[in-house]
Structure 1
């Protein structure tokens, strides 16, 4: 993966397009260092508690042991209290609001850290759809021990610490996936966060970031085509289906067949959902004008964009912003209004 980590002392957040929330990369000790960090909020620095909407190039798992407030992930606010566990996926917009006494342990890692357990990528995307979990006392204690072990391995860097970290992370991901399964079936072993806290948005939001776009060919390429399309559209919602097919080195017909087989929906439908969801995030988390938001999601005509947005969400862009805006100072105060 490219451009997901930075060396020590590199300014953060990374440069971004005007109006986009800042993009944070994972700071590592140097070339060849493990793309993984774990520790308490204070150990990992002030950005770990940032109250300004931002994105990551990496995964973040948060185990809350104390405090209160609201954790905003994309368009959903999750009330914070002790004995909670959360995951933030790469590319999701999040921030902490009204925090008081917030404490706990975090684990940060890039996707290539999952090389020993590639199946954990799919588990994390599934976990990310629930995002936020209340833990029983037993689950809280077990999770605390795992997080403490990872933080200790990061501090001590004893021989073999990378292998130990990968193993501990795999155990944590599998246990989180069990919480997701329990929440889906309504069994008492796993409790999702409060009602209404599920993260909004299409499956496109769960796509991985930081991969190179390019042709997908060879045996078994159909599932790979669908996955590359989801990844591509999650970052480039202003492209047409035909342009995406050309980028992936396949025909529009083959793309349609592969995506429909993998997701049950057409590429056009997924692209529409991705555009609507990106527009929602920009309206909620930036002060871009409606015209600017329309351009960012591929609409040259703001009036047509407004009709599109109402059809997909049931409300106008202005009304949506009124009820969902983060009401934080402008991310780009010097941006020219459109």
Structure 2
């Protein structure tokens, strides 16, 4: 499971200085399925965390009650239940000023999608939009489906893993219907789509934002030319353009969710020259790093690791 899961009670993975904390999925043991489902109360205080954090896993939340704001990356979503939220691995989120938040959460890693690998791309796209309002019919269907997932996971009767994977696939498909988008850009299981999906997951990693197209192609075991053809066929954009967007988006996350200096953000996103980074950031976002941070500032104290006194 590539360090995406931990035993219950394991401390949150300490991030590099100034980065956003990383939560891993708690499971009963190394042979346990990388899946959890339950209410906010059942899954513990981290399910309502009011500090920005990331996950190594997917999170689908059916919000049925409560007030406040769900902050995902740079977007703020006022709670007016019922809602469905889809948060992907690496996305930064927290619940701000939450009061009486209730509902059901389903948590799972990429490894759990082995029966339906194309769902990974669907989930990535759903995470880009993240937040979906539900009409009474959608809400009722979502309640029943979530309840089935929770019951199946709790009872763990013979064959429960297969049932969970099937029910989860239904959940992903129904969530995709809410967004009006299903499937992958180049058709289910197509090689260009699969390679583009792998490329998207690779550049979503924070340490990949300063890589070149050649670096990514080497990691994926293809030539730069083939990677360019596959990504362009699946997305309509070049891998170089997507890498630039990933660097700009990572810089936005760090400016919005940490108190790293502009020089530190520049270094973290692969720029040795802060002045060049500022020109890059203005070109990509239309504003300076300082102005962006001022606009997106929040009440949380610095996430940069505090050093003990000498």
Alignment TM-score, normalising by the size of structure 1: 0.83
Q: How does 1:67-106 map to 2 (within 5 A)?
A: 67-106=66-105
1:151 Cα offset (Å): 1.3
Say which SS state the counterpart of residue 105 (structure 1) adopts: strand
1:254 Cα offset (Å): 3.6
Which residue of the partner structure matches residue 302 of structure 1?
274
Are 1:3 and 2:11 counterparts?
Answer: no
C-alpha separation in 2, matches of 1:261 and 1:123: 17
C-alpha separation in 1, matches of 2:244 and 2:307: 27
- Aligned partners of 1:19 and 1:335 also within 8 Å: no
Q: Which residue of 292, 304, 308 corresponds with 1:320?
A: 292
C-alpha separation in 1, matches of 2:125 and 2:214: 29
Which residue of the partner structure matches residue 258 of structure 2?
286
Which residue of the partner structure matches residue 191 of structure 1?
none
Are 1:144 and 2:143 counterparts?
Answer: yes
Are 1:263 and 2:262 counterparts?
Answer: no
1:310 Cα offset (Å): 0.5
C-alpha separation in 2, matches of 1:136 and 1:223: 32
C-alpha separation in 2, matches of 1:222 and 1:146: 33
Q: Which residue of 228, 243, 246 corresponds with 1:274?
A: 246
Alignment TM-score, normalising by the size of structure 2: 0.90
1:266 Cα offset (Å): 2.1
Cα deviation, 1:96-141, whole Å, max 9, x if unaligned, reads 0010111111010111111122222222122222211111112111
- Aligned partners of 2:149 and 2:167 also within 8 Å: yes
Say which SS state the counterpart of residue 53 (structure 1) adopts: coil
Q: How does 1:107-146 map to 2 (within 5 A)?
A: 107-146=106-145
Q: How does 1:199-214 map to 2 (within 5 A)?
A: none
Which segments of structure 1 move beyond 4 Å, counting only runs of 4 or more?
220-225
Q: How does 1:24-35 map to 2 (within 5 A)?
A: 24-35=23-34
- Aligned partners of 2:121 and 2:197 also within 8 Å: no
- Aligned partners of 1:63 and 1:84 also within 8 Å: yes
- Judging changes above 3 Å, is the alpha-carbon distance between structure 1 residues 239 and 46 closer, same or farther for their aligned structure 2 residues? same
Q: How does 1:50-61 map to 2 (within 5 A)?
A: 50-61=49-60
Note the residue ranges of structure 1 that are not aligned, 5 or more in a row: 185-219
- Aligned partners of 1:259 and 1:266 also within 8 Å: yes
Note the residue ranges of structure 2 that are not aligned, 5 or more in a row: 183-189
Which residue of the partner structure matches residue 187 of structure 2?
none
RMSD: 2.0
C-alpha separation in 2, matches of 1:80 and 1:20: 27
- Aligned partners of 1:233 and 1:274 also within 8 Å: yes
1:52 Cα offset (Å): 0.5
1:163 Cα offset (Å): 1.9
1:82 Cα offset (Å): 1.9
- Judging changes above 3 Å, is the alpha-carbon distance between structure 1 residues 159 and 247 closer, same or farther for their aligned structure 2 residues? closer
Which residue of the partner structure matches residue 205 of structure 1?
none
- Judging changes above 3 Å, is the alpha-carbon distance between structure 1 residues 227 and 167 closer, same or farther for their aligned structure 2 residues? closer
Which residue of the partner structure matches residue 331 of structure 1?
303
